[in-house]
Structure 1
Amino acid sequence: MINFQDKVSFIWSIAEVLRGPYKPEDYGKVILPLAVLRRFDCVLEETKEEVLTKYADLKSINEDAREPILNRLAKQNFHNTSNYNFNNLLSDADNIGDNLRDYMNGFSKTARDIMEYFEFDKQIDKMNDNDLLYLTIKRFSELDLHPEVVSNIEMGYIFEELIRRFSEHAEAGDHYTPREVVRLMVSLLFMRDDDILTKYGLTQTLYDCAAGTGGMGSVAQEYLHEFNPNADLEFFAQEINGESYAICKADMLIKGADARNIRLGNTLSNDQFKGEKFDYLISNPPYGVDWKSYEKPVKAEHEELGYNGRFGPGTPRTSDGQLLFLLHLVSKMKPVTDGNPQGSRMAIIMNGSPLFTGDAGSGESEIRRYVLENDLVEGIVALPNDLFYNTGISTYIWILTNNKTDHRKGKVQLINAVDFSKKMKKSLGSKRNEITQEQIDEIVRLYGEFKEGEYVKIFDNEDFGYHKITVERPLRLNFLISEERIAQVVEQRAFQNLATSRKKDESGIAEIEAGKELQESILKVLRNHINDTVYKNREDFEKKSKAAFKGSGVAIGAPILKAILAGLSEKDETADTCLKKKDEIEVDTDLRDTENVPLKEDIIEYFKREVLPHVPDAWIDHSKTRVGYEIPFTRQFYKYTALRSSEEIMAEIKELEKNITKQLEKVLI
Structure 2
Amino acid sequence: MANNNNFTEKVNFLWSVADLIRDTFRRSKYQDVILPLTVLRRIDCVLEPTKSNVLKAYAKYKGKIPNLDPVLRKASGYVFYNITPFTFEKLLEDPNNLAANLLAYINGFSENMREVVEKFDFRNTITKLDEAGLLFLVVEKFKNIDLHPDVVDNHEMGTIFEELIRRFNEALDENPGEHFTPREVIRLMVDLLVGPENGKLTQEYRVIKVADPACGSGGMLTIAKERLLERNPTLQVHIYGQEINPETFAMCKADLYMKSEDGKDAENIAYGSSLSHEAHPAERFDYQLANPPYGKEWKMDEKEVKAEAVKPNGRFAAGLPRISDGQMLFLQHMLSRMNPPEQGGGRVAIVLNGSPLFTGDAGSGESEIRRWIIENDWLEAIIALPEQLFYNTGIATYIWVLNNRKKDFRKGKVQLIDATGIWTPMRKSLGNKRREITDEQITHIYSIFEKFEETNQSKIFDTVDFGYRKVTIERPLRLAYQASPERIARLKEQTAFIGLAQSKKKSGQEKLEDVTEGRRLQEQILEMLKQMPQEIFFSRSAFEQILDQTCKKEGIKLDSPIRKAILVALSEREESAEICLDKDGNPEPDPSLRDTENVPLKEDIGVYFEREVKPHIPDAWINSSLQDPKDGKVGMVGYEINFNRHFYIYTPPRKLEEIELEIKSLQAEITQLLGEFE
TM-score range normalised by the length of the shorter chain: over 0.9
Identity of aligned residues (%): 47
How big is the shift at 1:579?
1.9
How big is the shift at 1:232?
4.2
Matched, 1:263 2:270: yes
> Which of 37, 41, 55 pairs up with 2:40?
37
Q: Name 2:357's counterpart in structure 1.
A: 355
Q: Name 1:656's counterpart in structure 2.
A: 666
How big is the shift at 1:100?
0.9
**Equivalent position SS for 1:263:** strand
**Equivalent position SS for 1:91:** coil
**Equivalent position SS for 1:316:** coil
Q: Name 2:9's counterpart in structure 1.
A: 9
Change (3 A) 1:603 1:146: closer
Q: Name 2:621's counterpart in structure 1.
A: 619
What aligned pairs does 1:431-442 form with structure 2 within 5 A after superposition?
431-442=433-444
How big is the shift at 1:516?
2.1
Q: Name 2:502's counterpart in structure 1.
A: 500
Q: Name 1:290's counterpart in structure 2.
A: 297
| Code of the aligned partner of 2:303 | K
Deviations 1:465-510 (A, max 9, x none): 1111111222121212212222222332222333334459998323
Q: Name 1:412's counterpart in structure 2.
A: 414
| Code of the aligned partner of 2:346 | S
**Larger mean Cα displacement after TM superposition, 624-633 or 53-62:** 53-62
**Larger mean Cα displacement after TM superposition, 110-119 or 607-616:** 607-616
| Code of the aligned partner of 1:641 | T
Matched, 1:642 2:643: no
**Equivalent position SS for 1:631:** coil
How big is the shift at 1:569?
1.0
Provide the C-alpha distance between the structure 2 equivalents of 1:161 and 1:221, rounded to a whole number of angstroms. Answer: 21
Provide the C-alpha distance between the structure 2 equivalents of 1:666 and 1:519, rounded to a whole number of angstroms. Answer: 85
Provide the C-alpha distance between the structure 2 equivalents of 1:7 and 1:372, rounded to a whole number of angstroms. Answer: 42
Structure 2, unaligned runs of 5 or more: 627-634
Matched, 1:317 2:322: yes
How big is the shift at 1:278?
0.8
Provide the C-alpha distance between the structure 1 equivalents of 2:259 and 2:8, rounded to a whole number of angstroms. Answer: 20
Q: Name 1:428's counterpart in structure 2.
A: 430
**Equivalent position SS for 2:68:** helix
Q: Name 1:159's counterpart in structure 2.
A: 158
| Code of the aligned partner of 2:267 | R
Provide the C-alpha distance between the structure 2 equivalents of 1:513 and 1:74, rounded to a whole number of angstroms. Answer: 97
Work out whether residues 5 and 158 of structure 1, in 8 Å CA contact, stay in contact via their aligned partners in 2: no
Work out whether residues 528 and 550 of structure 2, in 8 Å CA contact, stay in contact via their aligned partners in 1: yes
Work out whether residues 209 and 287 of structure 2, in 8 Å CA contact, stay in contact via their aligned partners in 1: yes
How big is the shift at 1:297?
1.3
Deviations 1:447-478 (A, max 9, x none): 11000010000001111111111112221212
**Segments ≥4 residues shifted beyond 6 Å:** 504-507
**Equivalent position SS for 1:581:** coil
**Larger mean Cα displacement after TM superposition, 218-227 or 540-549:** 218-227
| Code of the aligned partner of 1:156 | H
Change (3 A) 1:25 1:166: farther
Q: Name 1:69's counterpart in structure 2.
A: 71
Work out whether residues 347 and 402 of structure 2, in 8 Å CA contact, stay in contact via their aligned partners in 1: yes
> Which of 630, 646, 650 pairs up with 2:640?
630
**Larger mean Cα displacement after TM superposition, 128-137 or 452-461:** 128-137
Deviations 1:389-431 (A, max 9, x none): 2222111100000011111011000001111123323332222
**Larger mean Cα displacement after TM superposition, 540-549 or 317-326:** 540-549
**Larger mean Cα displacement after TM superposition, 478-487 or 266-275:** 478-487
Change (3 A) 1:632 1:115: same
Change (3 A) 1:7 1:81: farther
| Code of the aligned partner of 1:220 | A
> Which of 330, 339, 343 pairs up with 2:335?
330
**Equivalent position SS for 2:399:** strand
Change (3 A) 1:650 1:275: same
Work out whether residues 155 and 183 of structure 2, in 8 Å CA contact, stay in contact via their aligned partners in 1: no
> Which of 174, 178, 184 pairs up with 2:188?
184
Q: Name 1:380's counterpart in structure 2.
A: 382
Work out whether residues 8 and 158 of structure 1, in 8 Å CA contact, stay in contact via their aligned partners in 2: no
Deviations 1:638-664 (A, max 9, x none): 111111122222222222222222222
Work out whether residues 463 and 598 of structure 1, in 8 Å CA contact, stay in contact via their aligned partners in 2: yes
Change (3 A) 1:14 1:371: closer
| Code of the aligned partner of 1:593 | D
Q: Name 1:234's counterpart in structure 2.
A: 238
Change (3 A) 1:647 1:5: closer
Work out whether residues 120 and 246 of structure 2, in 8 Å CA contact, stay in contact via their aligned partners in 1: yes
Provide the C-alpha distance between the structure 2 equivalents of 1:229 and 1:215, rounded to a whole number of angstroms. Answer: 20
| TM-score after normalising by structure 1 | 0.93
**Larger mean Cα displacement after TM superposition, 478-487 or 210-219:** 478-487
**Larger mean Cα displacement after TM superposition, 179-188 or 130-139:** 130-139
Q: Name 1:594's counterpart in structure 2.
A: 596
Provide the C-alpha distance between the structure 1 equivalents of 2:570 and 2:596, rounded to a whole number of angstroms. Answer: 30
Work out whether residues 156 and 251 of structure 1, in 8 Å CA contact, stay in contact via their aligned partners in 2: no
Work out whether residues 313 and 370 of structure 1, in 8 Å CA contact, stay in contact via their aligned partners in 2: yes
| Code of the aligned partner of 1:528 | Q
Work out whether residues 285 and 325 of structure 1, in 8 Å CA contact, stay in contact via their aligned partners in 2: yes
Deviations 1:518-569 (A, max 9, x none): 222112111122422x222212321220220121122321111111111111
**Equivalent position SS for 1:623:** coil
**Equivalent position SS for 1:87:** helix
Deviations 1:217-238 (A, max 9, x none): 1221232343344444321100
How big is the shift at 1:377?
0.3
What aligned pairs does 1:454-473 form with structure 2 within 5 A after superposition?
454-473=456-475
| TM-score after normalising by structure 2 | 0.92
Provide the C-alpha distance between the structure 1 equivalents of 2:275 and 2:6, rounded to a whole number of angstroms. Answer: 39
Structure 1, unaligned runs of 5 or more: none
Provide the C-alpha distance between the structure 2 equivalents of 1:171 and 1:649, rounded to a whole number of angstroms. Answer: 47
Work out whether residues 18 and 132 of structure 1, in 8 Å CA contact, stay in contact via their aligned partners in 2: no
Change (3 A) 1:50 1:191: same
**Equivalent position SS for 2:351:** strand
**Equivalent position SS for 2:625:** helix
Provide the C-alpha distance between the structure 2 equivalents of 1:414 and 1:217, rounded to a whole number of angstroms. Answer: 25
How big is the shift at 1:105?
0.7
Change (3 A) 1:42 1:617: same
| Code of the aligned partner of 1:161 | I
**Equivalent position SS for 1:554:** coil
| Code of the aligned partner of 1:261 | N
Work out whether residues 210 and 240 of structure 1, in 8 Å CA contact, stay in contact via their aligned partners in 2: yes
Provide the C-alpha distance between the structure 2 equivalents of 1:519 and 1:493, rounded to a whole number of angstroms. Answer: 12
Deviations 1:22-70 (A, max 9, x none): 455644332332232222223223332232233234444798x322332
How big is the shift at 1:275?
2.2
Provide the C-alpha distance between the structure 1 equivalents of 2:675 and 2:502, rounded to a whole number of angstroms. Answer: 79
Provide the C-alpha distance between the structure 2 equivalents of 1:618 and 1:194, rounded to a whole number of angstroms. Answer: 53
What aligned pairs does 1:480-559 form with structure 2 within 5 A after superposition?
480-502=482-504, 508-532=511-535, 534-559=536-561
Provide the C-alpha distance between the structure 2 equivalents of 1:350 and 1:60, rounded to a whole number of angstroms. Answer: 54
Provide the C-alpha distance between the structure 2 equivalents of 1:586 and 1:62, rounded to a whole number of angstroms. Answer: 89
Work out whether residues 371 and 377 of structure 1, in 8 Å CA contact, stay in contact via their aligned partners in 2: yes
Provide the C-alpha distance between the structure 2 equivalents of 1:183 and 1:458, rounded to a whole number of angstroms. Answer: 24
Q: How many residues align?
A: 658
> Which of 259, 275, 281 pairs up with 1:274?
281
| Code of the aligned partner of 1:412 | V
Q: Name 2:221's counterpart in structure 1.
A: 217
